[in-house]
Amino acid sequence: MNRIPFAEVQAALAGALQKLGFGAERAETCARLFAETTRDGVYTHGVNRFSRFVATIRNGRVDPSAEPEVVCRLGALERWDGHQGAGNLNALAAMERAIALGRGHGVGCVALGNTNHWMRGGTYGWQAAEAGMIGVCWTNTMPNLPPWGGAERVIGNNPLIIGVPRKSGPVVLDMAMSQFSYGALESYRKRGEMLPVDGGFDSEGNLTRDPGAIEKSWRPLPAGYWKGSGLAVVLDMIAAMMTQGKATYQIPAEALFETAISQMFLALNPAAFGEAEEADRIADGIVASLHACAPAKHGGKVRYPGEQTLKIREENMRLGLPVEPEVWKEILAL
């Protein structure tokens, strides 16, 4: 594993993006988001995903020069058209606008249609939290998950992100509606491990912890069975209705061709009535109550969502971002 300084990674990605048609500033920002994702330990959606992102530019699904645009406005709500531009840049702009709306109106919302995969969803939760705002956002996806009671993949795993500001460390939940991603199933299988809990059905329709059996059946479980399934459905409905954009069932079901997806960005202002410090104390109190909880296993610890991130971030900034030699070679060759 190489350890490469953050700035060097960002510069390499930005250089590649400029060659692909991104303007200088947009290339810098887009590259920063990929590098920050690796910096924060979300290796599946950072530098390791860059070549897949490049492939969607080359196959025309992502338009490198497209910028998102507001198309309708009413008070604290805006609808934006992503013009099938880079998903992470579009999402960043949408959350930035939701934050501005939330500051002025207490709550703000941007419905972003016709956009592309936003890469790491947690990015926009951190964005809101670091701006002192509560951010809630979600995206629909191509059909990749069977609904509860169904045998075919007709719903999306529709990640939901909630970021809560807190001076001593934002709380950021980043959860897809499947219990395990296909990427996670693959990792467990390659390590020869069983899943810690049931992760899907085998081909006979029995619940199983065997990752390979689930990959074969294409029937991973929604998180919480019927609960995650239902939540995925309503999140898709809201995103498609508010954007007047595509619903999951209308999105091409191949990773490199998934496009024109629908996303929602909400921002709530915990300091709307001037009590940022009190809100911070409230968040601290909840964190303290979790940390005081007796662990289920000797030596264990109850953690809040996102608790590990700042530690990983510090380490990766100090030592350099961990990048596989093969991945790095590929990026330098772009």
| x/- map, 183-222, its own copies, by CB under 8 A | --------------xx--x---x-x-----------x---
| x/- map, 96-135, its own copies, by CB under 8 A | --------xxxxxx------------------------x-
Nearest to 182 by CA among 146, 228, 148, 207: 146
Which residues, 10 to 69, sit near its own copies by CB under 8 A?
none
- Calpha distance 199→306 (Å, rounded): 22
Nearer to its own copies, 241 or 319 (CB): 241
Nearer to its own copies, 19 or 303 (CB): 303
Nearer to its own copies, 26 or 97 (CB): 97
Q: Is 224 in the site for its own copies (CB under 8 A)?
A: yes
Asked whether the CA dihedral 58, 60, 61, 64 is positive or negative, the reply is positive
Looking up tokens 């990752």 gives 211
Which residues, 237 to 256, sit near its own copies by CB under 8 A?
237-238, 240-242, 244, 247-250
Residue in 45, 105, 117, 298 annotated catalytic: 45
- Calpha distance 5→321 (Å, rounded): 6
Q: Work out which of 55, 203, 273, 332 binds its own copies, going by CB under 8 A.
A: 273
Nearer to its own copies, 170 or 322 (CB): 170
The b-or-e profile of 218-256 (16+ CB within 10 A means b, else e) is bbbbbbeeeebbbbbbebbeebbebbebbbbeebeeeee
- Calpha distance 41→52 (Å, rounded): 18
Q: Which residues are catalytic?
A: 45
